[in-house]
Amino acid sequence: MHALECDHLSKTYTSGVRGRREIQALQDLTLTIGRGEIFSLLGPNGAGKTTCVKILLSLVHPTTGSASLLGLPVSNPHARRRIGYLPENHRFPGYLTGEQVLSSFGALTGVRGPELATRTTQLLGMVGMQDWRKVKVKRYSKGMMQRLGLAQALINDPEVLFLDEPTDGVDPVGRKEIRDVLRTLKAAGKTIFLNSHLLSEVELVSDRVAILDHGKLLKVGTVDELTTTDSSYHIGIEGTVPAAFVTEATARVLGVTAGADGLTARVADVPALNTVIDLLRAHGVSITSVQKQRNTLEESFIDLITREVQS
């Protein structure tokens, strides 16, 4: 049984005078997310990410298609009891302390008594807020609010966790600590559905990534699958690259560019890469490393969105 499944989801909103204008927020979205997976949904503003999450949380209904959570329809209340949710730009009453916030949300989810007290202490410790548990929320920074929000999302010990921009406003040390928490939750078998515009954070923590644009799924895969280039290698060398080698190699492969720390070879396949290596050796050049080049997730994301706009 998968943690989450979307089967041909589409959502159309109507607006304007007498509902004459239609906006296609999602178009035939099909996704499967496994248990114990950290899955990130990416896309520019207006891509349909929020609509997708709202459907999975049963806050809105799809126009067509269906979605399930832990084998149950998302509309089933028993499914929703097994999730935790941290929305973007969440707010807590400023007159409550961090401890009181968790107590209130715990009671709403049915966690009470000694269990609630124990979980409150554990979670505040996990997110680094133990020393602030008696302090009113109005004194919290944005980063502290994010930490408290994460603890709130975990108060009912959910099996699936929805996080919308969980590291927004958090300093670099705090982001590292939250990543560590997410990895700990994954190791405990939790499924994490992540929305974030901080692609460098997504790249560090996600098992798989899906990219949406204008409601359409453009690509889904592991971070390596989305960032590894098809035909470019960096070859580290000792010394400088002979000009004669560059001329000869360029005539036999797609392209060779010399740099201060080695050279970049664009090749059609592995035999062509070996041709470059053989030529380097023939010219007496010592090779120190051969590495397939990768883009950052941000570079891959922008390239994919740009190609979609131009098509």
Q: In the chain, what are the domain boundaries? A: 4-225, 230-297
CATH architecture of residue range(s) 230-297: 2-Layer Sandwich (3.30)
Buried b (16+ CB within 10 A) or exposed e, 266-304: bbeeeebbebbeebbeeeebeeeeeeeebeebeebbeeb
Q: What is the pLDDT along the chain (311 residues), one digit of tens a residue?
A: 799 999 999 999 887 656 567 889 999 999 999 999 999 999 888 889 989 999 999 999 999 999 999 999 999 999 989 999 999 889 999 999 999 999 999 999 999 999 999 999 999 999 999 999 999 999 999 889 999 999 999 999 999 999 998 888 888 888 898 999 999 999 999 999 998 888 888 889 999 999 999 899 999 999 888 887 667 888 999 888 888 888 888 777 778 888 777 888 888 788 888 988 998 999 888 999 998 877 778 878 887 777 766 66
Longest dimension (CA), the chain: 78
Predicted pLDDT of residue 264:
84
3-state helix, strand and coil shares in percent for the chain, rounded to the nearest 5? 40, 30, 30
The closest alpha carbon to 239, from 278, 284, 274, belongs to 284
Predicted pLDDT of residue 16:
63
Give the whole-angstrom CA distance, residue 189 versus residue 181. 13
Predicted pLDDT of residue 249:
82
CATH superfamily to which 4-225 belongs: P-loop containing nucleotide triphosphate hydrolases (3.40.50.300)
Half-sphere exposure of 225 (CA within 13 A, CB side): 10
Collect all residues with Cβ–Cβ distance below 8 Å to 278 and sequence separation of at least 6. none
Question: What's the pTM value of the predicted model, to 2 decimals?
Answer: 0.81
**What tokens does 171 get?**
């300093």
Predicted pLDDT of residue 124:
96
Identical topology for domains 4-225 and 230-297 = no
142-153 vs 98-108: helix crossing angle, rounded to 10: 30
What is the chain's Cα-based Rg? 25
Predicted pLDDT of residue 38:
97
Give the whole-angstrom CA distance, residue 152 versus residue 104. 9
**What tokens does 198 get?**
């901080």
Collect all residues with Cβ–Cβ distance below 8 Å to 253 and sequence separation of at least 6. 265, 266, 267, 268, 272, 275, 276
